[in-house]
Amino acid sequence: MDSRNVAIDPVSWNSALAACKRAGRWREALTLLRNMRQRGLKPDPVAYSTAIGACARGRRWREAIDLLSEMQRLGPLPDIVCYSAAVDALGKGGQWQQALDLMTDMRQHGVMPNVYTYGAAVSATAKACKWKEALALLHQMQTEGGVQPNLHVYNACISACAKAGQWKAALQLLEDMTTASQHDCDTEMQLPNAPLSQLHEHDTSEKALGLLRGMSKHGIRPDLICYSSAAHACAKGGRYKVALQLLEEMTLQGLQPDATIINTTMAACAKAGQASTAMRLLDQLRQQGRADIYSWNTAISACAQASRWQEALLLREEMQEAGVAADAHTWDSCIRACGRAGEWYTAIKLLSVMEKKGGLLPGSRHFCAAIDACAKAGEAETAVRLLDSMVHYSIYTDMATAAMAACAHAGQWERAMTIFEDMLAAAIDPSETSFVILISACTNRRATAEQVRCDTPRQACVAGGLFVSFHSDTSPSDL
């Protein structure tokens, strides 16, 4: 049989177009439409909507609009499916304003948007971070269009608000979703994959946790992103115990927390001085092969916070054995761990080890941490020598202040005064702490305390107030 004599009906053409759409082959879809007309076949709305959908998948919004214009010129007139596909194409192409204009145009042609049209338009505004426009569309579809938003529409609106940092609006939408308990929504809700760190900045940890519990109450099973959002908010808000509880719940639900949320929880534990818990979380990441430089540094910082200097140094060695190179933050935490534990000699030694074995030149914060360690141990001479060794560095107020503290602790008020004068000579503005330490060191010498020179009105007020306080038997802690 000669295949050229076989007539191909529109259904077959539409099936071929559907295959092109699934594969995103927009060029082939346009060719098929052209061939249909050449063979005397008039493409129906299904054929056009499928071709427009193929253009949408290929991010070819201009071609999609051309097809819509062709329908209006040659027929058949576009239906709701064609318009929705065109709005989707505009959204995927970043043309959110044209998408909204097209919705206005379709109404003028007597075609009312449905939930899919609104979903495509909201997604277009969300992609452009136009959260106000997204919320306006949500309100419009409920009030003017009489269309009930589905899960996709809500998530698109939430994503738009989250990307714009509008967490109050985003969380209100989440609450609306859970309390409404819509029948047409899936049984599994997803939170938008947005910058979760902003949750704490907007004080939403309690809100996020409440929403997570509310989802379960309404029969909606939270997924990995839901748990991670709540755990992240709690961890950033200092509620490390709740964050740990959520991590356990995730595991029981068969969900594996990612490294980011575990690291965030570790950081919360570190701030709370929970070194053992932080190290346990590090071990968990190490066993899974997911421990990164941030994981190691967070655990070492937790040890420093808890004055567990030996464990901090051991972690640094294990870190090196694991093939993770220590950075400036690693060494800073190790030095501070030694300083908190009174191990001033080890803290100073680490400065040399850092340069010789670590290949990193100690910076101001490392010297400051070592000087602070000497100050806590009353090692004034060593603190001053360290400060003197910083001649080839820029002198920083915090380093000089730490050295002054060491001198004051050792009763060497003259040395403290010399350091203070060096700061002024170097045109460095002393901090209020510098004045507190200096005047404290000079409390037994009225004349010397009165010699503290102030170059700014603010310093004069601070120093003058402290001077009067010290000579009226008022301790600095009472100020």
Cα 206 to Cα 190: distance, rounded to the nearest angstrom: 19
Q: Is residue 310 part of a domain?
A: no
Residue 416 lies in a domain: yes
Could you report the per-residue pLDDT of 343-385, keeping only the tens digit for each?
A: 888 888 898 888 888 888 777 778 778 877 887 777 777 777 7
Q: Would you say residue 38 lies in a domain?
A: no
Contact assessment for residue 428 and residue 395, using Cβ atoms and an 8 Å cutoff: yes
User: What pLDDT does residue 390 have?
Assistant: 64
User: pLDDT tens digits, the chain, 479 residues: what are they?
Assistant: 344 544 456 677 778 888 888 887 888 888 888 888 888 888 888 888 888 888 988 889 999 899 889 888 888 898 999 999 999 999 999 899 999 999 999 999 999 999 899 999 999 998 888 999 999 999 898 888 788 888 788 888 887 887 776 767 877 787 777 665 544 444 344 444 443 334 444 456 676 676 677 666 656 677 777 777 777 778 777 788 888 988 888 888 888 888 888 998 998 898 888 999 999 999 999 999 999 999 999 999 999 999 999 999 999 999 999 999 999 999 999 998 998 888 888 888 898 888 888 888 777 778 778 877 887 777 777 777 776 666 545 455 666 777 777 777 777 777 777 777 777 766 666 777 777 777 776 764 543 444 544 444 333 433 444 333 333 333 333 33
CA–CA gap between residue 228 and residue 196 (Å, rounded): 8
Provide DSSP, 334-383: HHHHHHHTT-HHHHHHHHHHHHHTS-----HHHHHHHHHHHHHHT-HHHH
From CA 460, how far away is CA 457, in angstroms rounded?
5
Report if residue 413 sits inside a domain: yes
Assess if residue 74 is contained within a domain: no
**Contacts by residues 61-65 (CB-CB < 8 Å, ≥ 24 positions apart):** 61/89, 61/90, 61/92, 61/93, 61/95, 61/98, 62/93, 63/26, 63/30, 64/89, 64/90, 65/89, 65/90, 65/98
Q: Which pLDDT score, from 0 to 100, does residue 216 have?
A: 65
467: its two tokens: 């001077």
Contacts with 177 (C-beta within 8 Å, 6 or more apart), sequence order:
151, 154, 185, 189
Instruction: End-to-end CA distance of the chain: give it in Å, rounded.
Output: 104
Beta-carbon contacts of 118 under 8 Å, excluding residues fewer than 6 positions away, are 137, 138, 140, 141, 145, 147, 149, 153
Give the global pTM: 0.54
Tokens of 155: 């998530």
Name residue 38's amino acid: Q
Tell me if 262 is assigned to some domain.
no
Q: Is the dihedral of CA 276, 282, 286, 287 positive or negative?
A: positive
Residue 313 within any structural domain of the chain: no
Peptide bond into 76 cis (omega under 30): yes
Secondary structure (3-state) at 459: helix
Helix (H) or strand (E) holding 221: strand 221-222
Q: Which residue has the tokens 């001085």?
A: 273
Domain membership of residue 253 as a residue range: 203-213+220-257
Task: Give the helix/strand (H/E) hosting 426.
Answer: none
Count: domains in the chain:
2
374 found inside a domain: no
Question: Beta-carbon neighbour count of residue 167 at 10 Å?
Answer: 23
- Helix axis angle for 26-38 and 61-74, nearest 10°, is 20
Does residue 305 contact residue 335 with C-beta atoms inside 8 Å? no
* Separation of CA 306 from chain center: 27
So what's the pLDDT on residue 35?
Answer: 85
The residue with tokens 């719940």 is: 249
Residue 385: CA count within 13 A, CB half-sphere:
6
